[in-house]
Structure 1
Amino acid sequence: MMEENPRDVSQKMDGIRIVYGDESLPRIYEHSRISSDQLPGQLGIVKRAVALGRFLQNPLAMIATLCGPGKEILSWKLGSLGYLLTPDEKYEMVEQMMVDVTNQVGIDINLAAAHDWLFAPLQFVSGLGPSKAGHLQRALIRIGAVTCRKKLIEHGLGTMSVFRSAVGFLRVRCCGMASASSNMDLLDDTRIHPESYNLAKILAKDVYKCFENDEIDDVVLEMAIGYVRNHPKYLEDLKIFEYAKDYEIKHGKNKRETLYDIKMELLHGFRDWRSPYEEPSEDEEFLMITGENGDTLAEGKIVQATVRSIQSERVFCVLDSGLDGILFKDGFSDERDEIDLTTKLQVGEILICKIKQIEKNRHRVVLTCKEIQSRSSKDQNPRSVDPYYCEDQSSLSKEQEKAQKELAKKHVKPRMIVHPRFQNITFEEAMEYLSDKAVGESTFHPSSRGSSYLSLTIKIYDGVYAHKEITEGGKDQKDAMSLLHLGKTLKIGDENFEDLDEVMDRYVDPLVTHLKAMLNYRKFRRGKKAEVDDLLRAEKSDYPMRIVYCFGICHEHPGAFILSYIRNTNPHHEYIGLYPKGFKFRKHTFDNIDRLVAYFQKHINDPWPEKALSIQSVAAMVPMRSPAVGAPTGGGWESNTGGWRGQFNSSRDKTCTPSSRGKLLISSYLIYLFFYNFLNLHIMKGHEEWCYDCY
């Protein structure tokens, strides 16, 4: 239609209002398994578009959709402190919030039966859970609609105890396939529990009698509920606490709180107390489109920009986040002579600039280089510099080059990758994140080498971390968005992978299995090299006729183990490489430790193979600094055959005092509360103008 009649379409779209929505959650849905079940055969962009519409319409149901067995909701970044919570702690917070909000809002059963994606929050209804909710959902979809709450016992709620716990949060009204039904109970469209229906009818009857003089019979009693709901003013004038006192005198029961709740439900049945939907502000739109906010982007901030296009009067750049920038000629240099920017810059060149202005309506920033260039190595104020002072251009260029390298080291380009193990953090932050995790835990994060690489960090031992570089392929180098997404192919050494899940299955999991096998081996000894040697000497003194040996962690080269043994007096050491296929020792690979030990005992006196003394050939470690800008130094090792870059963190050796543990617990609790409240802001009312049939 767009291609055949573009003019007609453009005229019809004049009255259509555009609303921006946050795509962070829809992107997770796009790559989730539940999206393939709900929208089989659809393209990823279609899944994302549907998820965006659903999220704007009913955030609660959309968030609950990702709280299934896969727990994809854990990939949703809710704040900068998320890495401080473990996945279990984060999901506990999500689950608690979902239970609170779901039971506050309730679930429209008949509407959900017509649009089954609205059943997602059903598992969080009091008294249910994933199993009972699934059984009830299948029953309701099969029958299409219910006209009475009591029938829910026959169609999935099962026992009376489950019915009593859940029924107050299940809304039954005329909608969906029950739209034409005329025998609906009006009280089923309220939060009033069926156990209090009689009390609600008595209250409605008394209000009815105050304003009508008709005789009260069963028919009129049923009409009384509709009467008070259609005449809310009569109910508002009722002094409920005085009425509750009279009721207590007559019946001997204190129903003050219950009567108050009944009055409020008769006035506002299933009223939604959440914050109403508001269209995003200009700042929120800018954040959704660019990913930048006041904390990450501000006027006066020094940024790194890559030149994309050059004209004589201006230069178009792109920041690391993908945000567009423009550099005008008058902001490039203080030179008074007329200059042509096409002769000064080249496409692909990296500039260190300062943000002069943020144009949020155009989703771009105006950059300047003048203030950066005018700074000397001592950051002198130009006004205070002697008028005859002239800075050496060579020192200025060196200063700029140094600043550029420092910026590249500290700055990590955020990537748009959705995976439970991926985080937009530096390798130092990755080690901090894994510091309190179990041995073998891992995380993916951006590489300092650029957008065509990822880093994998694994906790080898307490304070010992190995970093593995992953090369991404199949990217369009000219497309900034393509660079931010995960490559179509991944490569570690000579091994190729399709996605991060395959990396976990074929690379990380087998490697961690071998790692734990070594750590649990009977001959493994904890401690550093010197400490292990002392243990061997003590064992040798007890058994002087034996050749004593043991395994230990190689702290200097993370990702390798040390085989230490004493034949006569002095300890000898050989290195063992850790690979997904097993352990590499003397150029041989062994799939288990017992075979390695048997080979060692049989060939202990054999001359070592050529290069066996070198750590790089045995433990897959090459003692050379990483060529990448910003790669770790002082402990960084990189392999030319699929090895590891390691990092030893001695901070783990420090003792933790009771005071520090107490502070840690308090900090964790505050972070927990922060995330709880932050998530609550996202579960607001949906856009009430949009029809559920669209999604």
Structure 2
Amino acid sequence: MVRNVVSDEEEDVELDEEENEPADAVEDDEEEDDEEGQDEYEKDDFIVDDVEEEPEEEGRADSDEERQRKKKRKKKREAEVLDEDDYELLRDNNVYPQRPKVDTKKFKRLKKARRDADDDRDGVFAEGDGSGKGGPEEKLSRTLFDDDEGQRFEDIAEEEEQMEEEEEVEVGEDDDMADFIVEEEELDEHGVPVRHKKVKKKKSRQSSGASSSALQEAHDIFGDVDELIKLRKQQGLDSNNEWRERRLEDEFEPSVLSEKYMTEKDEQVRLSDIPERMQISEESTSSPPTDEVLIDDESTWIYNQLASGATSLQGVTINKDDIVQFLELHHVQKLDVPFIATYRKEDCSSLLKDPGQLENDYDNQDNDQTPKLKWHKVVWAIQDLDRKWLLLQKRKSALHLYYEKRFDEESRRIYDETRLNLNHHLFKSIIKALEAAESEREVDDVDAKFNLHFPPGELGVDEGQYKRPKRRSQYSICNKAGLWEVASKFGPSAEQLGLTLSLLAMSSALEDAKETPEEMASNFTCAMFETPQAVLKGARHMAAVEISCEPYVRKHIRGVYMEHAVISTAPTPDGNTTIDSFHQFYGVKWLREKPMSEFKDAQWLLIQKAEEEKLLQVTFKLPEKRMELLVNECKELYCSDGVSKSAQLWNEQRQLIVQDALFGFLLPSMEKEARSLLTSKSKRWLLWEYGQGLWNKVSVGPYQRKESDPSDDDAAPRVMACCWGPGKPATTFVMLDSSGEVLDVLSTGSLTLRSQNVDDVQRKKNDQQRVLRFMMDHQPHVVILGAVNLSCTRLKEDMYEIIFKMVEDNPRDVGHDMDELSIVYGDESLPRLYENSRISSDQLPSQPGIVKRAVALGRYLQNPLAMVATLCGPEREILSWKLNPLESFLTPDEKYTMVEQVLVDVTSQVGLDINLAISHEWLFGPLQFISGLGPRKAASLQRSLVRAGAIFTRKDFVTTHSLGKKVFVNAVGFLRVRRSGREEEFYMISGETLETLSEGRIVQATVRRVLPGKAICVLESGLTGILTREDYDDDYRDIHELSERIHEGDVFTCRIKAIDMNRYQANVACKESELRNNRLSQQVQDLDPYYHEDTVNLHSDQEKARKEKELAKKHFKPRMIVHPRFQNITADEAVEVHTF
């Protein structure tokens, strides 16, 4: 069945259950009598007579006076009721007045009997949630469609409360056809006609802006939305049943909030008065140490790491005290790296040297006037080591707590005194080794030993649940069988062997047991190990595993292996076929016993990749002599010096244990560590190379004009950027002003045509003329051409032809700045990233891609740092910029960490002009790399600065823009706050420029007021002009008062004599001598030193030309001939004309 749709004109019908309204029973007697008669009617087959308004009961006791008083009160109430159109107009404006109750129950509409069924069918529209506040569709419409009116949950609630107080108006008198159709008479079981119940009409409460079709569509989609409405209302209520404010988390996806740095965590970072990058680092490392002892320990560790070659920095002499000073400044005073490198140089001078720069370069730099950018690699390396130290200490602390907890659990479970004492001794040695560990690998060794002797216990499993199958190692099986006692009889413990190998303890004489190994093993046979040989095998395995997990043993073996191990490579059958002399892996195809210490670059990464592709076979090994020395050393320290038969048998077992420990466990694990060490070392080298590539791109200065001073603030060039196009899109020119803003765009579809067709040649000439006019209109300082293919070389030649033609044909129209106009090539790799980035759509909306690319090309020439920093937003488009052929071996996080280091270093030395960035949004890119700031603090500061419009003093960062004291100290030294000078403010307020308003300019002035000795004028720019009596006329002595010559409203031409910028007024003169004086006009432009006017010869030449012209006119008689081809010339001239 198709559901009825309630339109704006239709009425909601709701049954009024009399038992739900007990208050009606105590109404006035007269009103009840009226309702009695109104609810009954007669049926005469077709037409029913009009319902009479007079009461039909005869026992009325009301007098005529009472009836008159009631009618007066009723008329008064009706007069207070607004028209329905008025209420509708108020609702459209979100005003909901309380409507007075009006008695309109006199007239009833007669319905057919089957309407009752329709009422049941449409009940969903009338019942709602039982609160009398309208149907759920109505509430849903308010939620879906009224939000654009700014209406919130609390507004809906208030509206419903107001609407609930309104009376449910029934059908009124305006329905002329209300009584035309009658319903079929209903009879009860006794045959008596059933009286119809009252029907009420609710005023339409449909939300403004939401039609009935929209409500029906919402109902079809969501169905019965009662539960949805209740759930939404419950979500909007807090525990006190009060409407709460909507949070961003309720409106947006977490990924969107994270991308825009709008989460609660980001807000905490913004509000905290600690440099942002420090906060992000401390989230993973915890708070750094501030105690002098801990700082000294860390500085010693960092110094040892630098000295051992843990970083890629070579040939650097570092003072340990400088490391201590750096850590105190960084951890205690919360100073960021750029601030320390710039303003605390004297505290850590040895850390500020560039490893790649020789000493004499520093001497030359001191003598050079031009400052050079420095990449503070050592400081960044120390900060990286500082982070590693903090993570190492955090892990050691966490493991220490876990070991103590696990040891207590194991001690409560063991009742054997011997085993308990052994565990206690093991635990003490483990804790001691943990405290002495100085690297992640050594901590891994300690953790492996602890897990061997104190394996993790099983978690509690509830009764009736299945247990997860547990893998049991051979060592644990032997240990549970009691073979640990046999293993302890073989010789020195693994710890003693490790201390002896590390020369931390002297070897003690080993006493052999009197009984043979098999005799002892026979005492420990069991169901799992039935023979003495099986027992000995299990005990040897336990001893070998314990030796391989001993931290001191592993440290000694690691040192030998990493120093002497050699690597060899050989191609597989597929590799031998694939790798030719031009292949990427050709350089590593055949390597023979190359020592690990000789791998200094990214060569290992190529070997690793080739091995993964199954093109190479890689082998690690120790040289035979070094391997023999290592094995003999271990056997000598582990075996006894006895010569008895029993001693020989025991030594045979010990030798097997050493062989098993070395070749079965230690050397294979050392190979894995060697691979990991080579990978980290190669990636570290590659990361510095990646950073060097980026440094070379961003450390270059903006393009400087040859005649400009690099220190001049106005030296930024006007750039015309050109991107070659194949036709679709066409070759495009974009003109940028000195601030990088787009002035004009020109597309030339035929400029690159090489066809000799007449039409193509003509179209190319037209495009050349358009480019010529484009350049003459905008007068660029430099043209940058994106280099993408060989067609760009021919395009460059065409551009030079246009420039030469422009200089030859229109030399006067070519400005002085274009005398040495040059065309340079530019790399389009970065502009193409900008073209496809989201930030380009925000900065250059509705512009085609090639225009965005050209804009980025020109801006990179003007400000390389700002253009690169623009692509360092949440999307990190900068990571797609290819800076090294092997950068695919680096993860995005590793690359972006290096990008941050480089850009922070460059930005701190270049600085950022805040007021300039406020006017030009794209210059805000480097703000996040300012010392102390980051993407979150920078975004907040940028919004605050844009709202303010300008900043005048650095104190405004604290007072107006809410920078904390520590962040302010870190950042303020790198933010340039350049207040507008008096001259710059004058021209900004007046709207004029030096070219349009300066001394010597001729302007129009309008008289506003005339005084006896001077006249007050207004120039076209709005400035006040002062015209004195002396400057009005050369014969000013004859003028007693200016009011005799000048009147208010007069307009005259005058010359500016002087400008008072403080008062925003100018002194003007209109006397003839001043207007003819050319001295002031020459001061407007910077003339060439060789400029000299030859006025004498000029006047004589002009006079001579005038006389010749007059003489030529005498040679011809004037003839009144009207013909298009007629020329009044001499005979000789006519011959010359007809010869061509």
- Compute the TM-score of the two structures, normalised by the length of structure 1: 0.26
Specify which structure has the bigger relative contact order, considering alpha-carbon pairs within 8 angstroms and separated by 6 or more residues. Answer: 1
- Compute the TM-score of the two structures, normalised by the length of structure 2: 0.17
Q: Whose Rg is larger?
A: 2
